[in-house]
Amino acid sequence: MSFVLAIDQGTTSSRAMVFRSDISVAATAQAEFPQHFPASGWVEHEPEDIWTSTVTVCREALEKAGLKAKDIAAIGITNQRETTVVWDRATGRAVHRAIVWQDRRTSDICARLKAEGHEPTISARSGLIIDPYFSGTKVAWILDHVPGARERAGRGELMFGTVDCYLLWRLTGGKVHVTDATNASRTLLFNIHTGDWDDELLKILRVPRSMLPEVKDSSAKFGETVPDLFGGPIAISGIAGDQQAATIGQACFTPGMIKSTYGTGCFALLNTGTTPVTSRNKLLTTIAYQLNGKRTYALEGSIFVAGSAVQWLRDGLGIIKQASETGPLADKSDSMQSVYLVPAFVGLGAPHWNPRVRGALFGLTRNTGPAELAHAALESVCYQTFDLWAAMRADWPDATAANIVLRVDGGMTASDWTMQRLADLLDAPVDRPMIQETTALGAAYLAGLNAGVYPEPEKFADNWRLEHRFKPAMSKATRERKLAGWARAVKGVLASDEGE
């Protein structure tokens, strides 16, 4: 058996990919599922939609590849992180729709926790900041707002899990309630130093320990699928949150390596090795992966708006019909103009973490048109990445521009214009890999590692192939002028914060 099935359960779609033993792709299937927005700032998924779409794409991928369950050595799961599901231990039915990572409904809970002085404790133990982004306050909200849920949870009748955990439970027919260390590290409930759920954090967030899954390595024996799903049992041997899976798929196994994924938002992870680095610049300290009981840590920076800035050009302004037009349009912009877009459409992520500010355009002239706006939108992603990299260097002295290895993936990396500008502004090379599906590949690798299909990390890293390296070509004077203009623009947006 030399095939591995990767489940990539994302925010807007579920995907399955079959990888061969040489990491080439045998088949892919993908299906979108509905998004629910019951109130302003609220985002929900129906857990049943997540489940049915996942099973459908797995079956379709196996059929496309001409494979049966017996041909698959293992399944790996990667998932949208922080999205929260609470379900009935006896019936398996969710007590509420899944609350998605993007959801902001727990802002009041977060404000109260901060006012009560809990942030230092939570940050020290979990590596995270207090923000609605993470799972812990979402669980608390469900327990407080679903009638009888808190009492039932206290009696041990309810289970909590991130999407990986929920899928694992369903795939195994309700036999396995387990997650991996990367997903656990995104909940606000997990102590990243001890590698266990933290009683003090559970007390602060009022979440019963009985609801929580067991935490295992990212590559481990998690169980096997019930035979009737795919015509026979298949071992499940790998789990990681999507950004950590992309880090693994990019073979960033050496401290100092950084991967940056450009999708709707942008997520950059810097491998810091076996030592967790506490950020002084509002980055997150998280678990990159856990193998053989050994945790490897990362500093993570999250940008809320990357590809969605291009979507705004298309859907909001109507100046492009498809994303691929943006780079050529930006290339036609007036070089004498300095237009800056600070895309704080939903606030600013790292290193600012200010959800209240909103986006702004700076430097407009009478001659500003679609080309300049496209230029500003693409550059905004590069500037935000620079801010993350500058924060990482400040937090981790071992990180220097001289030893940076930036590997990129995600939809926006198809734009040569954007990747070249990224290299120019970082003053560092940017490497785009041959295999762009790094998230699914990471999940497949973790499963295949446990199943004996793929080698140890050092040898797996040898399989990574460069498609194109973008080298910096901008003068120092131009770079410094542009970065100074960006800093002034961000300062202006932050000054517009009117508070709660």
Strands 13-19 and 3-9: antiparallel
What span, in angstroms and rounded, lies between the C-alpha atoms of 298 and 306? 21
Q: What phi and psi, each to the nearest 5 degrees, are found at residue 299? A: -95, 135
Quickly count: other Cβ atoms within 10 Å of residue 115's Cβ.
9
CA 276 from centre of chain: 19
Residue for token digits 């196994």? 253
Tokens of 263: 């999708």
What span, in angstroms and rounded, lies between the C-alpha atoms of 226 and 172? 5
Q: Say which residues have a Cβ less than 8 Å from residue 480's Cβ, sequence separation at least 6.
A: none
pLDDT of residue 315: 86
- The radius of gyration of the chain from alpha carbons, rounded to an integer in Å, stands at 22
Q: Say which residues have a Cβ less than 8 Å from residue 39's Cβ, sequence separation at least 6.
A: 105
The pLDDT tens digits along the chain (500 residues) read 689 999 999 888 899 999 999 888 999 999 989 888 898 878 899 999 999 999 999 999 999 999 999 999 999 999 999 999 999 999 999 999 999 988 888 988 999 999 999 999 999 999 999 988 899 999 999 999 999 999 999 999 999 999 999 999 999 999 999 999 999 999 999 999 999 999 999 999 999 999 999 999 999 999 999 999 999 999 999 999 999 999 999 999 988 889 999 988 899 999 999 989 999 998 999 999 999 999 999 999 988 888 888 888 888 889 888 888 888 888 888 888 899 999 988 788 889 888 778 899 999 999 999 999 999 999 999 999 999 999 998 898 776 655 667 899 988 898 899 999 999 999 989 999 988 889 999 999 999 999 999 999 989 988 888 899 999 999 999 999 999 999 999 999 998 876 54
pLDDT of residue 65: 95
Q: Say which residues have a Cβ less than 8 Å from residue 90's Cβ, sequence separation at least 6.
A: 157
For residue 455, say if its preceding peptide bond is cis, omega within 30 degrees of 0. Answer: no
Asked if 52 and 128 count as a contact pair (C-beta separation under 8 A), the reply is: no
pLDDT of residue 484: 96
Strands 405-409 and 257-262: parallel
pLDDT of residue 1: 64
Rounded (10°) CA dihedral 198, 242, 102, 315: 170
Q: Say which residues have a Cβ less than 8 Å from residue 424's Cβ, sequence separation at least 6.
A: 382, 472, 473, 474, 479
Quickly count: other Cβ atoms within 10 Å of residue 25's Cβ.
17
Closest CA to 306 of 346, 264, 351: 264
